[in-house]
């Protein structure tokens, strides 16, 4: 999950695995695989960085879990 901010300032958590596109129109719009759209305060670069950080954390946990099984 990644933390994003709606235009009204409310922070919410979004499942990064469901993100299909991120575009600037000029507001940043995050579109999910189910067609739902969210307009957020973050820049495209900030959204992409949040997704990358989420995936790094996920793979790190998977690697640690695999090492624990050995």
Q: List the domain boundaries for the chain.
A: 2-69
CA distance linking residue 15 with residue 59, whole number of Å? 16
Structure tokens at 9: 């300032």
pLDDT in tens, 11-69: 999 999 999 999 999 999 999 999 999 999 999 999 999 999 999 999 999 998 888 88
- The pTM of the full predicted model, rounded to 2 decimals, is 0.88
End-to-end CA separation in angstroms for the chain: 28
User: For 25, which DSSP code?
Assistant: S
Q: Which are the contacts of 28, defined by CB distance < 8 A and separation ≥ 6?
A: 22, 39, 40, 41, 42, 43, 44, 47
């Amino acid at each position: 999950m990644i933390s994003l901010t709606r235009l009204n300032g409310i922070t919410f958590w979004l499942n990064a695995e469901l993100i299909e596109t991120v575009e600037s129109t000029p507001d940043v719009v995050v579109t999910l695989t189910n067609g739902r759209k969210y307009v957020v305060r973050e820049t495209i670069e900030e959204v992409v960085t949040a997704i990358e950080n989420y995936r790094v954390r996920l793979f790190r946990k998977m690697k640690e879990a695999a090492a624990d099984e050995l």
